[in-house]
């Protein structure tokens, strides 16, 4: 992984403390932490101090595919196992196998599995009828509150009201 800062480039590899060589995802949270999902865990960079989360610290799987910080300060990550939520050093696992993550304006965490699409609210997954799961590339919400979902190979639109 390469980082360019103030005209300087640094390279981080597993030999430098990164949890894995394969980078799956990157995200900056509201506290300016950079989260790096790798093929072997999740790393948090804060002022170039790296904190690593792996299965030893409670991840449900080593491979972290997507990272989503929510408005309440939780960090959600989809692994190749389940959906994990990290808050104040504690990890909670939800038994769904997500492909993507998105938080809507009502605070619900939207995700897809290989078979279904829906949202997590109050610890419960609700599947939305008529929207296929599978490889969701991106999710967005318009100003009317409707979701737009890029699902290979088509674009889907669903009302969230």
The pLDDT tens digits of the residues spanning 26-83 come to 878 888 888 888 888 888 887 755 667 778 888 888 888 888 889 888 989 888 878 8
Q: Note if the pTM is more than 0.75.
A: no
Distance CA 118, CA 139 (A): 12
| Three-state DSSP state, 57 | helix
Residue 42's nearest CA partner among 63, 14, 28 is: 63
CA 58 to chain centre: 16
User: 49-75 burial by CB neighbour count: b if 16+ within 10 A, else e?
Assistant: eeebbbeeeebbbbbbbbbbbbeeebb
């Amino acid at each position: 992984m390469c980082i360019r800062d103030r005209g300087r480039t640094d390279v981080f590899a597993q030999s430098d403390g990164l949890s894995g060589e394969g980078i799956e995802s990157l995200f900056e949270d509201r506290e300016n932490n950079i989260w790096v999902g790798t093929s072997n865990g999740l790393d948090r960079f804060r002022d170039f101090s790296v904190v690593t989360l792996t299965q030893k610290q409670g991840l449900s799987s080593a491979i972290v595919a997507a990272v989503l910080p929510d408005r309440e300060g939780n960090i959600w990550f989809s692994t190749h196992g389940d959906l994990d939520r990290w808050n104040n050093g504690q990890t909670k696992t939800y038994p769904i196998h997500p492909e993507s993550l998105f938080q809507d304006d009502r605070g619900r965490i939207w995700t897809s599995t290989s078979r279904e699409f829906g949202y997590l609210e109050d610890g419960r997954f609700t599947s939305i009828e008529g929207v296929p799961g599978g490889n969701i590339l991106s999710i967005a919400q318009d100003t009317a509150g409707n979701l737009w979902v890029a699902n290979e190979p088509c674009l889907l639109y669903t009302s969230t009201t």
